[in-house]
Amino acid sequence: MKRLALGLWLLASAALAQEPSWLLVAPQRVIAGQRFEVIVVAPADEALPDELTLRVQVDVVELLIPARAQGEAQGARRRYAATMSPRAAGPATLSLAAYDSNAIAVAIARGDAVQQLTGIEQSAEEPPLSAEEPVYFVLGAHQGANARFQLSFKYRLFDPTSGYGAEQPWLVGFYFAYTQTSLWDLSSDSKPFHDTAYKPSFFWRWQRLDEQTWIDGARIGFEHESNGQAGELSRSINTLFVRPEWRWSVGRGGTVEFTPKLYAYLSTHENPDIERYRGYVDWRVRHDAGGQWITTATARVGTAGKGSLLLDMSRRTRDMRVGPLSGYLHLQYFNGYGESILDYNVRRPWQLRIGLAIVP
């Protein structure tokens, strides 16, 4: 287990070490709707154009912003000016759309009432329906062919531009979310689903406003998880949770997120000892290597010392030049107890799976 996990991390590190052809230098903080400048450094055999396009990635939303040169090139360097979208907000990455460049982590700040009460990440650019957890389909073959896939979304309950959301901006922080994770047994004759977890949740989301606050954001809410079975196969729990969020800029435009999810069980009558295997915290760390590999590790440690590790790694396929294939190449490794809620107290064989992700 340790060797395999180490190998996956080394693979991500090797991908990070690849040098981009173009270099982008940008400020760490940008105001929505206002002008900002960047510096672009081109390879020795490339000319710097008068206009180029910047790619801004905010959560799952991608924006393309035109930038115009400010004066002539100074050797391989040239300064460009652009205007950030007035509705963009939150932690984002900035890169060149048409060139192989590094990605810069930036914070896009807002100054309206929505920002003041719910934080910098709330934005009209974020659609009411957006991704929550990773969305993927992966296949494995350790001790029998199997698959795991996940669907997940969140829905913002109040529109920040009209109605109650505009009158009471704190309401814009309320979301409904739903995640469904299935394990598919492909080695049996009838190809049955081994188990499916259904997880609806309701939470309030806050993001910080300034550079001084010690925490970047938080979620507070309620979550139900069950497998929809009856009788002896039925499993369900209800929890209250708090998820603080911290983010740091690292390396060549990379980011690290630490988002532990702390929860208290409200009902566990169908699995009264689940805390022995899950504990009370999901320890989650996510590393976005500046447009290269995105790696997320989630660990659980139960009160009996039993636990699990889930490691997800994604690479955008269009950056790998694999033709018209869209989405992300996705690798997943799981080891430990409770890959599904039905098996919360069972340790099955470790799994290494590969497939595609829509949202990493």
Domains annotated for the chain, with CATH where assigned, are 2-13+116-359 (2.40.230.10), 20-111 (2.60.40.10)
Per-residue pLDDT reduced to its tens digit, 150-188: 999 999 999 887 788 878 888 989 999 999 999 999 998
Instruction: Please compute the mean of the pLDDT values over residues 259-275 and round it to a whole number.
Output: 94
Predicted local distance difference test score (pLDDT) of residue 223 = 98
pLDDT tier for residue 1 given thresholds of 50, 70 and 90: very low
Classified as helix, coil or strand, 2 is helix
Q: Where are the beta strands (DSSP E) in 157-306?
A: 174-185, 193-207, 217-226, 236-250, 254-258, 261-267, 281-288, 294-301
pTM as predicted:
0.72
Predicted local distance difference test score (pLDDT) of residue 356 = 94
Instruction: Please compute the mean of the pLDDT values over residues 207-221 and round it to a whole number.
Output: 83
Question: Residue 349: pLDDT above 50?
Answer: yes
More confident residue, 57 or 9: 57
What does 210-231 look like in DSSP terms, one character per residue? SSS-S-SEEEEEEEEEE----G
Mean pLDDT rounded to a whole number for the chain: 86
Lowest mean per-residue pLDDT among 1-10, 76-85, 348-357: 1-10
Predicted local distance difference test score (pLDDT) of residue 63 = 87
Predicted local distance difference test score (pLDDT) of residue 80 = 96
Which residues make Cβ contacts (< 8 Å) with residue 174, sequence separation at least 6? 156, 157, 158, 202, 203, 204, 205
Lowest mean per-residue pLDDT among 7-11, 49-53, 287-291: 7-11
Sign, CA torsion 231/299/263/148: negative
Question: Residue 16: pLDDT above 50?
Answer: no
| Phi, psi torsion values for 60, nearest 5 degrees | -100, 0
Rounded distance, CA 327 to CA 148, Å? 17
Predicted local distance difference test score (pLDDT) of residue 120 = 41
Edge-first strand listing for the sheet containing 51-58: 23-25, 35-41, 77-83, 61-69, 51-58, 90-96, 104-109, 29-31
More confident residue, 333 or 106: 333
Of 85-94, 134-143, 155-164, 252-261, the range with the highest mean pLDDT is 134-143
Instruction: Please compute the mean of the pLDDT values over residues 340-356 and round it to a whole number.
Output: 95
pLDDT tier for residue 14 given thresholds of 50, 70 and 90: very low
More confident residue, 318 or 30: 30
Question: Residue 110: pLDDT above 90?
Answer: no
* Tokens encoding 349: 């064989």
Of 5-14, 21-30, 207-216, 254-263, the range with the highest mean pLDDT is 254-263
pLDDT tier for residue 82 given thresholds of 50, 70 and 90: very high
Predicted local distance difference test score (pLDDT) of residue 57 = 84
Predicted local distance difference test score (pLDDT) of residue 123 = 46
Instruction: Please compute the mean of the pLDDT values over residues 109-131 and round it to a whole number.
Output: 60
Rounded distance, CA 181 to CA 143, Å? 21
Predicted local distance difference test score (pLDDT) of residue 121 = 44
Predicted local distance difference test score (pLDDT) of residue 89 = 74
Question: Residue 299: pLDDT above 60?
Answer: yes
pLDDT tier for residue 200 given thresholds of 50, 70 and 90: very high
Query: Percent of the chain scored above 70 by pLDDT?
Result: 85
Rounded distance, CA 256 to CA 234, Å? 37
